[in-house]
């Protein structure tokens, strides 16, 4: 089995053959992928070495110390956190070889075409249709998706569509890899409370998807999508952070630098949130270890729940701590950003942006149900539509 010593030897070889100071960034990232140092736990030839996932930190630390470029994970987070693990698990050999390398290098940005205007919290109620063309075997897709982060930048999308409306809603769905450059794809910005438009709505009109870009079996899309969703929640709520990383670091820094703003009541709230943020961070570490041993479980939903609540409470505390200053938001402009940068912005932006945390990656209400049923073992809510054909459901 590959160990830390072998990985460090491989890193040294990579740096010797491709010095970061004289190698183009994309060339270095391609060489890193080919050396198996992208995802060390992935199979050889697909960016990894079948090494323990925990050893990725050894590679990352050595490369960072040498000044090597990273692949800007905030810009390609959907590809890294959602598309890649799903393609790895369900993709054919050809699909893995075609998509994983440019995805990791950042040559191709991905987005997620799941939610719809009438199927957000109840994703399985989606209405986008994919009909197979007999002459070519291709799928023709028509429908609308919404709240699509980064669709304005994306080259590819992970897409679920209904392929058999005569089956119950969870069973008539198929999962596809959609080319966002197809002429039938139209992306429109959705302006947010922050003034920006990192989200989009996407209209699909006669979009042609080859059957070779179907992921998993026909009608098995819900099973495949659950893998994506579990990875999404872990990637949102379970990001590995140092102590005082993320939102709590920003408010703790203000507290230390601005003693004139302190009050006893705010001190007590900050201490409480600091402890909760540290508990959440350590829990994320534990879930990361669980992830290293296999597929993510429903515990990721609990992490994402905690992430949303803490971000909103911490950003609210920061605004109160700064008083009038906290109401300032210096950059309320219509932009379509390439990445979300929360900690690098002012308090007003953080407060507004955190409101979306309880919606993206699954609403908090849905995640509470998942935790209740799949983690705590509580009785499920009554579901009258479970065995009813989708076409017969009231909409």
pLDDT of residue 10: 96
Q: Could you give the residue range(s) of every CATH 2.40.110.10 domain in the chain? A: 110-221
Catalytic residue among 232, 257, 318, 320: 232
Q: Answer yes or no: are the C-beta atoms of 63 and 12 closer than 8 Å.
A: no
Output phi, psi for 144, to 5 deg: -135, 135
**Burial (CB count <10 Å: 0-12, 13-18, 19+), residue 1:** exposed
Q: Is the pTM of this model over 0.85?
A: yes
**Burial (CB count <10 Å: 0-12, 13-18, 19+), residue 5:** exposed
Q: Could you give the residue range(s) of every CATH 1.20.140.10 domain in the chain? A: 225-375
**Burial (CB count <10 Å: 0-12, 13-18, 19+), residue 99:** buried
**Burial (CB count <10 Å: 0-12, 13-18, 19+), residue 265:** exposed
pLDDT of residue 338: 80
Cβ partners under 8 Å of residue 326, min gap 6: 318, 319, 320, 347, 348, 351
Cα–Cα distance between 373 and 324 in angstroms, integer?
43
| Residue numbers of the chain with a pLDDT score lower than 70 | 1, 233-240, 288-297, 344
pLDDT of residue 153: 95
Cα–Cα distance between 239 and 246 in angstroms, integer?
10
Q: Which two tokens stand for residue 143?
A: 């429908």
Q: What is the largest CA-CA distance in the chain?
A: 74
- E strands in the chain: 110-113, 129-132, 139-145, 156-162, 173-179, 185-190, 199-209, 214-215
Tell which CATH classification among 3.40.50.300, 3.30.70.1230, 2.40.110.10, 1.20.120.640 matches the domain 110-221. Answer: 2.40.110.10
Cα–Cα distance between 142 and 130 in angstroms, integer?
7
pLDDT of residue 273: 97
Annotation marks residue 285 as catalytic = no
Question: Domain 225-375 carries which CATH code?
Answer: 1.20.140.10
* Burial call 307-345: b when 16+ CB within 10 Å, e when fewer: bbbbbbbbbbbbbbbbeeebeebeeeeeebeeebebeeb
pLDDT of residue 324: 87
Cα–Cα distance between 208 and 138 in angstroms, integer?
6
pLDDT of residue 238: 54
pLDDT of residue 291: 60
User: What is residue 9's three-state secondary structure?
Assistant: helix
Nearest one of 360, 220, 234, 379 to 297, comparing CA atoms: 234
Q: Answer yes or no: are the C-beta atoms of 143 and 161 closer than 8 Å.
A: yes
pLDDT of residue 1: 62
Nearest one of 48, 62, 34, 61 to 1, comparing CA atoms: 48
pLDDT of residue 384: 81
């Amino acid at each position: 089995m590959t160990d830390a010593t072998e990985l460090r030897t491989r890193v040294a070889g990579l740096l010797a053959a491709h010095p970061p100071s004289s190698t183009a960034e994309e060339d270095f990232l391609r060489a890193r992928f080919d050396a198996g140092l992208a995802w060390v736990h992935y199979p050889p030839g697909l960016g990894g070495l079948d090494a323990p996932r925990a050893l990725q930190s050894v590679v990352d630390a050595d490369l960072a110390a040498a000044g090597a470029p990273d692949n800007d994970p905030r810009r390609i987070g959907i590809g890294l956190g959602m598309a890649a693990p799903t393609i790895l698990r369900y993709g054919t050999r050809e699909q893995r070889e075609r998509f994983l390398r440019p995805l990791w290098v950042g040559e191709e940005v991905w987005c997620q075409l799941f939610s719809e205007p009438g199927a957000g919290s109840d994703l399985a109620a989606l209405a986008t249709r994919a009909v197979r063309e007999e002459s070519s075997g291709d799928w023709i897709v028509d429908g609308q998706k919404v709240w699509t982060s980064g669709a304005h930048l994306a080259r590819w999308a992970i897409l679920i569509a209904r392929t058999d409306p005569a089956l119950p809603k969870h069973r008539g769905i198929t999962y596809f890899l959609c080319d966002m450059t197809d002429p039938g794809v139209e992306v429109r910005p959705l302006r947010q409370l922050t003034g920006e438009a990192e989200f989009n709505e996407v209209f699909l009109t006669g979009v042609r998807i080859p059957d070779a870009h179907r992921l998993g079996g026909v009608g098995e899309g819900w099973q495949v999508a659950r893998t994506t969703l579990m990875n999404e929640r872990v990637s949102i709520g379970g990001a590995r952070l140092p102590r005082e990383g993320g939102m709590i670091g920003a408010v703790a820094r203000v507290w230390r630098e601005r003693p004139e703003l302190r009050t006893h009541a705010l001190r007590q709230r900050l201490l409480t949130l600091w402890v909760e943020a540290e508990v959440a961070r350590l829990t994320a570490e534990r879930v990361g270890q669980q992830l290293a041993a296999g597929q993510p479980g429903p515990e990721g939903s609990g992490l994402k729940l905690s992430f949303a609540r803490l971000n909103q409470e911490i950003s609210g505390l920061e605004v109160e701590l700064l008083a009038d200053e906290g109401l300032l938001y210096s950059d309320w402009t219509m932009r379509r950003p390439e990445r979300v940068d929360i900690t690098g912005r002012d308090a007003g932006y953080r407060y507004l942006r955190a409101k979306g945390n309880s919606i993206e990656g699954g609403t908090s209400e849905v995640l509470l149900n998942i935790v209740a049923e799949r983690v705590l073992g509580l009785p499920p809510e009554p579901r009258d539509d479970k065995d009813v054909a989708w076409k017969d459901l009231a909409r």
